[in-house]
């Protein structure tokens, strides 16, 4: 594709500049692409009712056509144009969790261009809570189709600088509204089948949703690219930094850390540059070892917020290997664990006593 001039416009999400909003909405309505922050990660937006505009998303991201796009709305009234046969429990969940990081899979409306759903008969839809995202959708007055604003299989962007690194010259406009709050993508919940299923753990925890949907199931499937896609988006290789990742999992946290230390020292001795993702409290164990560290803070929420930026940091530092201790699979830990499994292509070391 011929390079496009990518504009970056800074905008304060809590004091929205109406001129910038107008420019961004006009850009969307002209069929061009606008990256914008949501509470999860930055999205790459196009008018979801414009097939040619949606096609540009796939080209800009180098995304395969069999990976459908999430629609973003700002008002429940917009649902009538994009979904049909919406079950009652879907409305209950919208009432509880929207606006917010929950994406629902519903039966699609015939109006929706085929490339939005990759030819399927369901649609993914969410109402983001980020004030800039909501204002942009309202101003454009169309549903905005937006995958994460990264090149396909790269880590999702949590800042405008991440978007620019991946998509400079490939998209028209980036709205820089600062770093995103949650840092991992939305939870995807399939309500198009009799038993509701989580297809991707994310910003809202499984436990929180299960409180309202007791028969909720979660059966993650980690497929290789090219395999048949049952639930789209379940490629194993995803969110990946360049260096291979090893995820260390074990019941005894201190043993896990000790094993990472041993492996890091061994790799360093043969001249490798090792990057380790570490919670603040584990840092001391690595004092004096010649490695790069990405500090993940003190909580699972901190780790989610910092994870993708850490992958990009290690890319910039050209590390040879990345090590990380698996988080507990509770709360947002399940989503972190899912991203680590995909980014490491399932390279998990089980540490037993
Ligand atoms: O937090 C988020 O969800 C971010 C922000 C920008 O909203 N968006 C995001 O989009 O993560 P994306 O395209 O990177 O991931 C969307 C996932 C893909 O894996 C896609 O396969 C899946 O949603 N998806 C979309 N439509 C679907 C459908 N009809 N059925 C099942 N999965 C679907
Ligand atoms: Mg994505």
Confidence at residue 226, expressed as pLDDT on a 0 to 100 scale: 45
Confidence at residue 93, expressed as pLDDT on a 0 to 100 scale: 98
State yes or no: pLDDT of 227 exceeds 90: no
Find the range with the poorest average confidence among 1-10, 231-240, 294-303, 344-353: 231-240
State yes or no: pLDDT of 213 exceeds 70: yes
* 157 Cα to the center of ligand 2, angstroms: 9
In short, whether 70's Cβ falls inside 6 Å of ligand 1 is yes
In short, whether 117's Cβ falls inside 6 Å of ligand 1 is yes
Question: Three-state DSSP class for 12?
Answer: coil
In short, whether 175's Cβ falls inside 6 Å of ligand 1 is no
State yes or no: pLDDT of 229 exceeds 50: no
Confidence at residue 228, expressed as pLDDT on a 0 to 100 scale: 41
- 152: nearest Cα among 66, 61, 67: 61
How far apart (Å, rounded) are the C-alpha atoms in residues 132 and 11? 8
The answer to whether the peptide bond before residue 99 is cis (omega within 30 degrees of 0) is yes
State yes or no: pLDDT of 308 exceeds 90: yes
Confidence at residue 180, expressed as pLDDT on a 0 to 100 scale: 98
State yes or no: pLDDT of 74 exceeds 50: yes
pLDDT band at 236 (very low <50, low <70, confident <90, very high): low
Ligand 1 pocket mutation pick from 101, 103, 235 by most atoms within 8 angstroms of CB: 103
In short, whether 43's Cβ falls inside 6 Å of ligand 1 is yes
In short, whether 120's Cβ falls inside 6 Å of ligand 1 is yes
* 236 Cα to the center of ligand 1, angstroms: 15
Q: Spell out the residues 6+ positions from residue 118 whose beta carbon is closer than 8 angstroms to its own.
A: 65, 66, 67, 68, 232
Mean pLDDT throughout 105-111?
Answer: 96
The rounded radius of gyration (Å) of the Cα atoms in the chain is 20
From residue 104, alpha-carbon distances to 70, 119, 196 in Å are: 9, 18, 10
From residue 126, alpha-carbon distances to 123, 165, 191, 252, 315 in Å are: 10, 26, 13, 38, 31
Residue whose CA is closest, atom 19 of ligand 1? 233
- Which ligand minimizes its atom distance to the CA of 124? 1
State yes or no: pLDDT of 235 exceeds 70: no
Higher-scoring residue by pLDDT: 214, 326: 326
Q: Which residues surround ligand 2, an ion (CB under 5 A)?
A: 148
Taking the CA of residue 128 as reference, the ligand 1 atom at the shortest distance is 7
Q: Spell out the residues 6+ positions from residue 265 whose beta carbon is closer than 8 angstroms to its own.
A: 289
248-266 confidence digits (pLDDT tens): 999 999 999 999 999 999 9
Question: Three-state DSSP class for 206?
Answer: helix
* 126 Cα to the center of ligand 1, angstroms: 10
State yes or no: pLDDT of 239 exceeds 90: no
Question: Three-state DSSP class for 59?
Answer: helix
pLDDT band at 244 (very low <50, low <70, confident <90, very high): very high
- 37: nearest Cα among 7, 63, 12: 12
* 188 Cα to the center of ligand 1, angstroms: 7
* 344 Cα to the center of ligand 1, angstroms: 20
Mean pLDDT, the chain, rounded, equals 94
State yes or no: pLDDT of 270 exceeds 50: yes
* 239 Cα to the center of ligand 2, angstroms: 8
pLDDT band at 106 (very low <50, low <70, confident <90, very high): very high
pLDDT band at 48 (very low <50, low <70, confident <90, very high): very high
Q: Which pTM value belongs to this model? A: 0.95
* 264, HSE (Cβ side, Cα atoms, 13 Å): 28
How far apart (Å, rounded) are the C-alpha atoms in residues 96 and 117? 26
Ligand 1 pocket mutation pick from 108, 124, 338 by most atoms within 8 angstroms of CB: 124
- Which ligand minimizes its atom distance to the CA of 197? 1
Taking the CA of residue 67 as reference, the ligand 1 atom at the shortest distance is 21
In short, whether 180's Cβ falls inside 6 Å of ligand 1 is no
Q: Which percentage of the chain shows pLDDT scores above 70?
A: 95
State yes or no: pLDDT of 101 exceeds 80: yes
Residue whose CA is closest, atom 7 of ligand 1? 43
Mean pLDDT throughout 156-180?
Answer: 98
Q: Which percentage of the chain shows pLDDT scores above 90?
A: 89
Residue 7 φ then ψ, to 5°: -90, 140
How far apart (Å, rounded) are the C-alpha atoms in residues 251 and 25? 50
Beta-bridged to residue 189, according to DSSP, are 104, 198
In short, whether 188's Cβ falls inside 6 Å of ligand 1 is yes
Confidence at residue 232, expressed as pLDDT on a 0 to 100 scale: 44
């Amino acid at each position: 594709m011929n390079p496009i001039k990518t504009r970056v416009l800074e905008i304060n999400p809590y004091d929205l500049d109406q001129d910038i909003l107008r420019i961004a909405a006009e850009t969307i309505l002209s069929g061009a692409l606008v990256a914008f922050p949501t509470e999860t990660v930055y999205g790459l937006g196009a008018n979801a009712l414009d097939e040619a505009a949606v096609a540009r998303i796939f080209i800009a991201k180098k995304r395969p056509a069999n990976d459908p796009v999430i629609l973003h709305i700002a008002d429940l009234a917009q649902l009538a144009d994009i979904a049909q046969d919406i079950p009652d429990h879907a409305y209950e969940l919208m009432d509880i969790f929207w606006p917010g990081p929950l994406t629902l899979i519903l039966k699609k409306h015939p109006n929706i261009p085929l490339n939005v759903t990759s030819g399927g008969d369901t649609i993914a839809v969410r109402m983001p809570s980020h004030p800039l995202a909501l204002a942009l959708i309202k101003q454009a007055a169309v549903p905005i189709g937006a995958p994460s604003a990264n090149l396909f299989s790269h880590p999702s962007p949590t800042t405008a600088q991440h978007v620019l690194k991946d998509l400079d010259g490939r998209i028209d406009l980036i709205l820089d509204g600062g770093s995103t709050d949650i840092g991992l993508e939305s939870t995807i919940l399939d309500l198009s089948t009799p038993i509701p299923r989580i297809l991707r753990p994310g910003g809202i925890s499984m436990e929180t949703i299960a409180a309202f949907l007791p028969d909720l199931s979660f059966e993650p499937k980690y497929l290789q690219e090219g395999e048949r896609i049952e639930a789209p988006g379940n490629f194993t290789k995803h969110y990946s930094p360049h260096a291979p990742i090893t995820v260390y999992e074990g019941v005894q946290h201190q043993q896990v850390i000790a094993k990472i230390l041993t492996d890091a020292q061994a790799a360093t001795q043969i001249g490798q540059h090792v990057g380790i993702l570490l919670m603040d409290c584990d840092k001391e164990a690595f004092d004096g070892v010649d490695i790069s560290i990405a500090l993940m803070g003190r909580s699972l929420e901190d780790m989610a917020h910092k994870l993708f930026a850490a992958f990009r940091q290690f890319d910039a530092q050209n590390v040879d290997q990345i090590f990380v201790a698996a988080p507990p699979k509770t709360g947002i830990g399940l989503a972190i664990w899912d991203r680590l499994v995909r980014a490491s292509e399932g390279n998990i070391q089980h540490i037993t006593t």
